Amino acid sequence: MRFEGISGNGRVCRQLELLEQSGRMPHALILEGADEPAREELARFLARWAVCVSSEEKPCGTCPACRKARSGSHPDIYVAQGANGPKSFHVDVIRTIRADAYIRPNEAPRKAYLLLGADAMTAQAQNALLKLLEEPPGQVLFVITCASAANLLETVRSRAQTFTLEDGEEEPEETPAADLAKKIASAVIAPREYELLCQTGKLAKDKELARGVVGRLLQIFRDACICGFSDAYSSAEEKEALLLAQRLPRARLLELLAVAEQAKDRMDQNANQNLLATWLCARLRSDLHEQ
């Protein structure tokens, strides 16, 4: 992905790039955040990405599709939003989209539907949208923007992947959790398993620490995946991520990310701390032993 003209939201951009690189881009995305212009900017970027016909990084910015998208005249980009005010985004708009979405794109690889300010959607409009997301047409990308995904029906949220935009880019600060997360990431590829056992053992007693560590591990493993999948992108935030990317095959990087995601789920479900620490150690290393 070529993020020219996109300011801030580095984390979300890296997540999107990872999804693209690994061929897992969802057909429906929710961009939530208080900054309305930033939401719309990213949504329009994704529309250009969806229609660009370049064989290089997309959106290339120079192909005929990119130029039409820029000038707002691309026939495969459809932008919808309500009038001002709550419940001003009506069902007839979604019905129009449904009638159109199953027809093949005019000229682009896929059609892009931007639904801006979805907080204003009526329940009827959201239910119509849900039907569309449940039976997604091929070659279509839905980008839904809103202040908060919590304003949308749970059923709609569950059918799309939500990305939370940041209020201004923050530098990650050096905390005990960040420090321990780096040590754990290094220990994953250390010669002896004992190293990892020592580090993950520290998670057994301190719930807050464990929560912070798992959050940072998710970032490190995500960064490692991005480095591993994109030769062009080599500026990982942490050197631990870069090392993992250099030492491990892509499939293993994705497994590490999956382990961290599962660890977060377990924490959200209030898993026993001792068991979580042991499980994490076993999973982070066992994936390596199986190679």
Q: Which stretch binds Zn ion (CB under 5 A): 48-56, 122-130, 244-252, 255-263?
A: 48-56
The minimum distance between CB 2 and Zn ion, in angstroms, equals: 9
The minimum distance between CB 20 and Zn ion, in angstroms, equals: 14
Cα angle 30, 35, 41 (rounded to 5 degrees) comes to 65
**Residue 109 Cα distances to 20, 75, 140, angstroms:** 15, 12, 9
Task: For Zn ion, give the closer residue by CB, 54 or 127.
Answer: 54
Neighbours of 183 (CB within 10 A): 17
Site size for Zn ion (CB under 5 A): 6
Q: Does residue 57 interact with Zn ion by CB under 5 A?
A: no
From the list 54, 88, 124, 273, which residue makes contact with Zn ion (rule: CB under 5 A)? 54
**Residue 9 Cα distances to 15, 145, 263, angstroms:** 10, 15, 25
Q: Does residue 277 interact with Zn ion by CB under 5 A?
A: no
Q: Does residue 63 interact with Zn ion by CB under 5 A?
A: yes
The minimum distance between CB 74 and Zn ion, in angstroms, equals: 11
Neighbours of 241 (CB within 10 A): 23
Q: Which stretch binds Zn ion (CB under 5 A): 60-68, 87-95, 146-154, 184-192?
A: 60-68
Task: For Zn ion, give the closer residue by CB, 60 or 224.
Answer: 60
Q: Which residues pair with 111 in a beta bridge?
A: 140
Task: For Zn ion, give the closer residue by CB, 49 or 78.
Answer: 49
Q: Which stretch binds Zn ion (CB under 5 A): 10-18, 37-45, 65-73, 168-176?
A: 65-73
Q: Which stretch binds Zn ion (CB under 5 A): 64-72, 93-101, 116-124, 236-244?
A: 64-72
CA-to-CA distance for 128 and 95, rounded, in angstroms? 7
Task: For Zn ion, give the closer residue by CB, 59 or 117.
Answer: 59
The minimum distance between CB 105 and Zn ion, in angstroms, equals: 15
8 Å CB contact between 196 and 185: no
Q: Does residue 1 interact with Zn ion by CB under 5 A?
A: no
Q: Which residues pair with 77 in a beta bridge?
A: 112
From the list 29, 38, 66, 248, which residue makes contact with Zn ion (rule: CB under 5 A)? 66
Q: Does residue 51 interact with Zn ion by CB under 5 A?
A: no
Strand order from edge to edge, sheet including 111-116: 77-81, 111-116, 140-146, 28-32, 161-164
Q: Does residue 60 interact with Zn ion by CB under 5 A?
A: yes
Annotate 189-225 with b (16+ C-beta within 10 A) or e (fewer): beeebebbeebbebbbeeeebbbbbbbbbbbbbbbbb
Q: Does residue 52 interact with Zn ion by CB under 5 A?
A: yes
Structure tokens at 101: 């979405």
Interface residues toward Zn ion, by CB under 5 A: 52, 54, 59-60, 63, 66
